[in-house]
Structure 1
Amino acid sequence: MRKYLLFVLLLTMALSACAQNKKTKSAAKEKVNEDMELKNNPHLQAATFGAGCFWCSEAQFQTLEGVVKVESGFSGGTVPNPSYEDVCTGTTGHAEVIEVTYDTTKISYDELLQAFWVSHDPTQLNRQGNDVGTQYRSVIFYHNQEQKEKAEYYKKKLQESGAWSKPIVTEIAPFKVFYKAEDYHQNYYNQNGNEPYCHYVIQPKLEKFKKVFADHLKKQ
Structure 2
Amino acid sequence: MAADIFIIQHYEFPYLYKFPGQSSDERILFVTRESEIILIFRQVMVALAAGVIFLVGYAIARSLENFVGVGFGGLIELFFAAAALLFGVAGFWWVTTLWKRSIALITNKRLTKFIYTTPWNRHNLSLPLDMIVDTGAYSKGFLQAFFKLGTFTARSSAASSGVATDDPQRVNKKYFYIENVINAEDIHHYLHKVLFVFRQDWTKLDNFRPFLPTLKGEARKEFMKQYPEYWS
**What TM-score, normalized to structure 2?**
0.27
* Higher normalized strand content (fraction of residues): 2
- Structure of greater Rg: 2
